[in-house]
Structure 1
Amino acid sequence: MDQTVFAQFIEQLHRYVRDRLIPAEPQVIADDAVPPEIVDEMREMGLFGLTTPEEFGGAGMNIPQYVETIRVLSHAMPAYRSTASINLGMVCSALKNGGTNAQKAEWLPRIATGEIACFGLTEPGSGSDSAAMATTAKADGDGYILTGSKRYITNAPQAKLGLIMARTHAETLPGNGHVSAFLVPMDSPGVSVSKPDRKMGQAGSHIADIYLDEVKLPGAALLGGVEGRGFATAMQSLDNGRLSVAAASCGYARRMLDTALRYATERKAFGEPIAGFQLIQAMLADSEAELYAAECMLKDAAERANQGKAILACASAKLFASEMCGRVADRCVQIHGGAGYLAEYEAERFYRDARVYRIYEGTSQIMQLVIAKQMLRDFAAGAQG
């Protein structure tokens, strides 16, 4: 997208977040759902197709533009980002990078116009450990039969399309070659979705289990038309997903800090605003410094991802930004004091909402492993060179 056009879009998005999305938050919380009219507005604004190439009806944003959009959108509560982010990051990325021409032509225009998608990797017995994946895809003539289940799948109750990972080989192959990716219409016979799980926070954002009971798919459902590339596709998509979580962490942390700053200037103790107390100032200052660092990391990681060299940067940005967001949330509650523990104030909700960012798209501990392993690979390659 042209940078001038993008700047105009971001200005419009800022207004939409401030004037429409934030005022609607009490309704989202009460209904545990984003109002249908807001979802329709998001479709009309093109928010589901920002990263889809223009030839397929999208805006053709590059990765830095996409990441900045998510950061701005995430100043409002997380449910809005969750509604569109799987389309924008993970599924669109997988189709662009790994889909056949026919798959792109069929699905990219549909997700760009707002057919909600989901991404099925995690299972009851496996998450980051793909060797333990139990969902199978057995060859059946020219197609496949999928059997298994997926857990904690964002947008599963609303999704029209699922990008589902499954074993196409019983044995564990090097490079996770036993895992393939499938484009699964969610209305396919044999696909069912559980009731949404009750969660600690993030009202209006739904996760649920997906059950696959001998789901028959044509061979054209295999992403890219080649077996054994599913895990690599998932990992490439997860880079975008991790940048999205990092951007969400930065956007929401900025909202928290603004709220804490406002409360500190309004709340009085001992005859003066608590913002005048140095220990309150220390919490505000630490939050600003950490948030600034995370925002800088986010921009750099997005630029590196745009150049195709991003595993280390994306994992580092996600790790630091999500942990930072948790610390800012904690300080926001602390600055509110007793009021921070009450549902009447936003600080309590911020604290619950922020916690999952250290788990989404790979826990902080998995990010540490990803970073360390990439460092060791880079060192070994340098030593050999």
Structure 2
Amino acid sequence: MSSTFTRALRPALRGSRILSQTALRQGLARPMRRANLARPISTTTALRSDSPIDISEIPPTPISHLSEVENAMAESVSKFANDVILPKVRDMDEAESMDPAIVEQLFEQGLMGVEIPEEYGGAGMNFTAAIIGIEELARVDPSVSVLVDVHNTLCNTAILKWGSEALKRKWLPKLATNTVASFCLSEPVSGSDAFALATKATETADGFTISGSKMWITNSIESDFFIVFANLDHSKGYRGITAFIVEKGTPASPSPRRRRSSASGRPAPASSTSTTSRSPRRTCWASAATGTSTPSACSTRAASASPPR
């Protein structure tokens, strides 16, 4: 929507990219002086003073420095969280559920597709912007923040980096506008150890049959889209692991059961019943197994963005 703050920030974001690229080109175009070629290139300025330096007068270096666009993103998300989410936090905690109107607003404001390129209907911003949005939401409600975190850094990332072009064109516009996603990796016995998952995928004439159990599936109550990890060939160990897209409504798709989370007042949904699900061939991540690169890389990004709890 034209009123969303992520869309409002796009012109400034494009402008900052152009300035950065121009500065880089100009820097590379400058001839290096002969004096500089005689010593290793360094970003540290040589000290030319014989007098001692009083370091107590030097202000501390900031741990992070946000650009103008990133500061604007933080301010916009903070205002949205305080104006829209905060008034409903107590009611959501008491009802132990996520308000569907809040989820709808997250999509409308572009917070569910921060890194999804504009060509697929997303905001076209970067990982830093996603982290900023997640942090500002966490200041008001960690539960909403985790919903946005998992959707962006686990599910959207997985499709962007490892999905086929057909999967991207089918799912990224939906994930950016109206479809909540879940990442089904953890299991009752192995936990989140991707090397030890037991869920099995068997190839059939028209696709795959997936059988096993998954636990701690964040967003599963709200989700219509599940990324399910399973092993196509246990003889290959972790190298037999790949991922499948399972849509809500598919026979024996993950059926969540609520469990209270210690991280917030709301429950952490989980699916713990062994199921057998059928998945069409086109929903398989790749023709060959992907090993653990997908869950490991996505989990690292999610951990980077997750609010402390």
Q: Could you tell me which residue of structure 2 aligns to residue 229 of structure 1?
A: 290
Listed as ranges, the matches of 1:213-362 within 5 Å are: 213-223=275-285, 225-245=286-306, 248-249=307-308, 354=309
Separation (CA, whole Å) in 2 of partners of 1:14 and 1:129: 35
Does the CA contact (< 8 Å) of 1:147 and 1:213 recur in 2? Answer: yes
**CA displacement at 1:216 relative to structure 2:** 1.5
Provide, for residues 231-263 of structure 1, a one-character-per-residue CA deviation record: whole Å limited to 9, x for no partner. 211111112111111xx12xxxxxxxxxxxxxx
Separation (CA, whole Å) in 2 of partners of 1:236 and 1:156: 21
Q: Is the counterpart of residue 73 in structure 1 residue 137 in structure 2?
A: yes
Does the CA contact (< 8 Å) of 1:161 and 1:183 recur in 2? Answer: yes
Separation (CA, whole Å) in 2 of partners of 1:35 and 1:128: 28
Does the CA contact (< 8 Å) of 1:118 and 1:161 recur in 2? Answer: yes
Equivalent in 107, 122, 130 of residue 58 of structure 1: 122
Question: Helix, strand or coil for the counterpart of 1:209?
Answer: coil
Q: Could you tell me which residue of structure 2 aligns to residue 106 of structure 1?
A: 170
Gaps of 5+ in 1: 250-353, 355-385
- Structure-2 change in CA distance of 1:156 and 1:185 (3 Å): same
Q: Is the counterpart of residue 35 in structure 1 residue 99 in structure 2?
A: yes
Gaps of 5+ in 2: 1-9, 17-67
Does the CA contact (< 8 Å) of 2:245 and 2:283 recur in 1? Answer: yes
Q: Could you tell me which residue of structure 1 aligns to residue 52 of structure 2?
A: none
- Structure-2 change in CA distance of 1:186 and 1:136 (3 Å): same
What one-letter code is carried by the residue in structure 1 that aligns with 2:249?
Answer: D
Equivalent in 203, 210, 220 of residue 146 of structure 1: 210
RMSD: 1.9
- Structure-2 change in CA distance of 1:127 and 1:226 (3 Å): farther
Q: Could you tell me which residue of structure 1 aligns to residue 268 of structure 2?
A: 206
**CA displacement at 1:134 relative to structure 2:** 1.5
Separation (CA, whole Å) in 1 of partners of 2:186 and 2:193: 9
Q: Which moved more, 1:72-81 or 1:192-201?
A: 192-201
Does the CA contact (< 8 Å) of 1:179 and 1:229 recur in 2? Answer: yes
Provide, for residues 92-122 of structure 1, a one-character-per-residue CA deviation record: whole Å limited to 9, x for no partner. 1111110000000011111111311100111
Does the CA contact (< 8 Å) of 1:121 and 1:164 recur in 2? Answer: yes
What one-letter code is carried by the residue in structure 2 that aligns with 1:207?
Answer: P
Q: Which moved more, 1:34-43 or 1:114-123?
A: 34-43
Provide, for residues 358-385 of structure 1, a one-character-per-residue CA deviation record: whole Å limited to 9, x for no partner. xxxxxxxxxxxxxxxxxxxxxxxxxxxx
Question: Helix, strand or coil for the counterpart of 1:96?
Answer: helix
**CA displacement at 1:35 relative to structure 2:** 1.9
Identity of aligned residues (%): 26
**CA displacement at 1:212 relative to structure 2:** 5.8
What one-letter code is carried by the residue in structure 1 that aligns with 2:246?
Answer: V
Q: Is the counterpart of residue 163 in structure 1 residue 242 in structure 2?
A: no
Provide, for residues 17-70 of structure 1, a one-character-per-residue CA deviation record: whole Å limited to 9, x for no partner. 223322322112111123222222222111111111111000011111111121
Q: Could you tell me which residue of structure 2 aligns to residue 180 of structure 1?
A: 242
Separation (CA, whole Å) in 1 of partners of 2:123 and 2:272: 31
Question: Higher Cα Rg: structure 1 or 2?
Answer: 2
Provide, for residues 259-278 of structure 1, a one-character-per-residue CA deviation record: whole Å limited to 9, x for no partner. xxxxxxxxxxxxxxxxxxxx
Number of residue pairs matched by the alignment: 245
**CA displacement at 1:211 relative to structure 2:** 4.5
Does the CA contact (< 8 Å) of 1:111 and 1:117 recur in 2? Answer: yes
- Structure-2 change in CA distance of 1:230 and 1:161 (3 Å): farther
Equivalent in 118, 140, 150 of residue 182 of structure 2: 118
**CA displacement at 1:162 relative to structure 2:** 0.7
Q: Could you tell me which residue of structure 2 aligns to residue 14 of structure 1?
A: 78
TM-score normalised by structure 2 residue count: 0.74
Question: Helix, strand or coil for the counterpart of 1:55?
Answer: helix
What one-letter code is carried by the residue in structure 2 that aligns with 1:197?
Answer: R
Separation (CA, whole Å) in 2 of partners of 1:127 and 1:204: 21
Separation (CA, whole Å) in 2 of partners of 1:194 and 1:32: 14
Does the CA contact (< 8 Å) of 2:229 and 2:241 recur in 1? Answer: yes
- Structure-2 change in CA distance of 1:113 and 1:205 (3 Å): farther
Does the CA contact (< 8 Å) of 1:165 and 1:231 recur in 2? Answer: no
Provide, for residues 332-381 of structure 1, a one-character-per-residue CA deviation record: whole Å limited to 9, x for no partner. xxxxxxxxxxxxxxxxxxxxxx2xxxxxxxxxxxxxxxxxxxxxxxxxxx
Does the CA contact (< 8 Å) of 1:146 and 1:212 recur in 2? Answer: no
Q: Which ranges of 4 or more aligned residues in structure 1 deviate by more than 6 Å?
A: none
